[in-house]
A and B are shown apart, each in its own frame.
Chain A
């Protein structure tokens, strides 16, 4: 009896020691995360209820920052643009990357080259490729409008960088730039599907479409889940491509192209209204959180089904 107690004791001590070693391995990363990410996030939450310019005494503002949101036209414009951008970008990028992955998973000649080509926009420098897009879609000198003018005889040429079209330009750009990255994730997912499943489906006389519908798509579900979650989060964070494509050199956005993160930056570091900008950031955070939670819920439902 005594012996077993002794044994569990030493086992406990050993476990504790093991845990300590494990924690010490995590510590460097975790301390960095806590100091540079977690604590600032908590502070940002608190800031949403305060009025602070970064220097003078901090005043308590209660819900005033949030009340201000309802009457702020530029906030609503940026929220609307961000949501439209996400609704356009997420499904399109997903479909494009899945399609590419399926095609480039076939045994075709030079698929390595094609894979690299589709991945290239993702690794290319943003500044360089936005400059290329700015030229291609240039309102008076770009080839796109030249084709519209000379081939389709459209006299009233569209401005791809303003008005209703800028969001479409941003969506197309983003799909083109990021589909290569998600294609690689889908490729990994496709490689993970056991060949036996396809064999069995063939034996049962399934068509290609049926194979996709009943084998590929269900098997890819975890991958799709990951892709959609990552895409959604990244879409809500859109900022750089809007500045680069619509900012016109001095980085200012009009109501047709302004996005939430740009407005947060503007309020925080140009106007030094840190409380208000934190309130906007919180709206962004809550939106992303709710959408992600819904996605997790849907995924869990399928998992159990």
Chain B
């Protein structure tokens, strides 16, 4: 009997280790939402096998995003003596993997994609990126075309990455809901107060499917707190976050009045913003331009119901009183050269190409937002199949000023940790807005 029990026990433990042992978040990673298996660690190649120089490029989502290959192909076609080998480090924890990869004695990469500013700050403070300023000056590259983004990531007069992609925030809206409510569509020039009034006017309380939310805020801090930096006078490096209070108050009041889903609900359901908007009961949603391609392709494949969300539009981000329309938040993805690279000159030539107008056109033709936004690029984007055809939506892509969600600071990750923690506390209702902001002020100030 004892022997039998023991063997059952052992069998159970063995089963447990195989079933649950490597549980955790791993499982969420092996499959991407659209059912494709991820391609982490795989290599994608462009150019001839016998090319003189081989550039190794760190990227993510090699199979899902077509632009990596397209850019590389365009470059190797012009430069037949170069071959580009792309390594997919996976998108979910790209920043961490890349930082680890570049730690220690360096890596084989010649070009690395720098996903966001915190990632950039980490790599710069590790001293693993080559400064590009001299090369930029020597080749006479005009940085003014990048809407002031390069200045926000310049460190002690030196730039370590070249802007490649840039996304910015817009207001998405569902025309059907506005039509049914008999409310005029949002406009390209709305103050935040007008926006608040508008979303309240389309809200409809009701049971189940009858409920219409005027607005939706994703759980990210950027979606609420960063309305506060649009006036250009404040940034998250300020050490005083009182400027964010009015926006926390606005959103909390909207939650209370049933204008938007509560943070508690969104958090508990782990509700993705794409699901929230495509349910067809969300009138407006503030979100980045990266959602445009998802929305277009999900409607085309039938994943989203055209009846519910097929008729959508875009307007410029709501802005504070006295600030120009077209002022918005954004992110920048750059390309950089690791100090350990052996092909720095070729790498620079490639980076310059990828970030140029020529590279921008390739990105735009595939529905992605390049760092350079010329009229031609905007035209390419708005003529994409599935892009809303009203003039307002096309106009919405014209920005006047983009404030980065996180500008450069060597301790940006530490600041982010503190702000994210208390953002969650405030939105969860665990602390009051005043107390939460007070803690942000106190703790960011006490950083070394």
Contacts and interface: CB of A to CB of B under 8 A. Distances in A.
Interface of A: 53-56, 71, 73-74, 119, 122-127, 134, 137-141, 159-163, 181, 184-185, 187-188, 191-192, 240, 243-244, 246, 248-256, 258, 266, 269-273
A230 to B, nearest CB: 13
B413 A272 contact: yes
Given A56-B126, A126-B23, A187-B5, 10 more contacts: A53-B125, A73-B443, A123-B15, A125-B23, A126-B20, A159-B428, A161-B264, A161-B268, A270-B118, A272-B413
22 contacts: A54-B100, A54-B104, A55-B126, A125-B20, A125-B23, A127-B27, A134-B269, A137-B268, A138-B269, A141-B269, A159-B428, A159-B429, A163-B429, A184-B12, A191-B1, A248-B268, A249-B270, A253-B424, A254-B421, A270-B413, A270-B417, A273-B414
Contacts of B127: 55-56
Interface string B119-154: 000100111100000000000000000000000000
Among A56, A192, A246, A270: residue with most chain B CB under 10 A: A270
Given A55-B104, A119-B12, A124-B20, A252 B421 contact: yes
A141 B266 CA distance: 11
Given A53-B125, A253-B421, A188 B9 contact: yes
Among B23, B431, B446: residue with most chain A CB under 10 A: B23
B439 interface: yes
B418 A74 contact: yes
B99 interface: yes
Contacts of A240: 23-25
Interface in B424-448: 424-425, 428-431, 439, 443, 446
B430 A249 contact: no
Interface residues of B, number: 55
B30 to A, nearest CB: 11
Nearest to A64: B448
A280 B418 CA distance: 17
Nearest to A77: B421
B19 A123 contact: yes
A151 B148 CA distance: 59
B20 A123 contact: yes
A253 B420 CA distance: 8
B45 to A, nearest CB: 29
Nearest to A245: B268
Contact of A256 (B6, B265, B428): B428
B430 A254 contact: yes
Contacts of A139: 262, 264-265, 268
B422 interface: yes
A90 B338 CA distance: 48
A191 B16 contact: no
